[in-house]
Amino acid sequence: MFKGLEHTAIASPDPERLAGWYVKHLGFYINFSYDGNFFVKAPNGSTLEIIPSEGNRTAQGPKSPGIRHLAIAVDDFDSAAAALTALGVELGTPLQVKGNRLVFFTDCDGNLIHLIHREKPLP
């Protein structure tokens, strides 16, 4: 009956700009848009819907309630991190946690993202 996540939505003051950021920086592509809403799809098929926001953004911390980050799987951690750096993305300090490599950064709206390369896929 339930199949899983179909997409995740992000509200943005400029959805087209944010959609373009995901295209330019993470290799997504815009697969559908309507009335200022943009669906961007990753090479693995995962999809984000970027919708127009209303009001002001509230302060967020790494463990504030709600969705905290988007994790982007990569085959080659060093190459992916270097590609983002070359595009001007400021990366945090790379971490190694239980054999997994990750690094945090934000998109152009300040949404928290991290690259992850898992030594062993999740079960």
- Considering the domain 67-123, what is its CATH architecture? Roll (3.10)
pTM for the whole structure: 0.92
Question: pLDDT at position 71, please?
Answer: 95
**Percentage of the chain modeled with pLDDT above 70:** 100
Q: Which two tokens stand for residue 119?
A: 């030594």
Residue 55 pLDDT grade (very low, low, confident, very high; cuts 50, 70, 90): confident
The full length of the chain comes to: 123
Question: 3.40.50.261, 3.40.50.720, 3.10.180.10, 2.60.40.10: which CATH number matches 1-54?
Answer: 3.10.180.10
Residue 61 pLDDT grade (very low, low, confident, very high; cuts 50, 70, 90): confident
Residue 62 pLDDT grade (very low, low, confident, very high; cuts 50, 70, 90): confident
Please, what sign has the CA dihedral across residues 27, 42, 66, 68?
negative
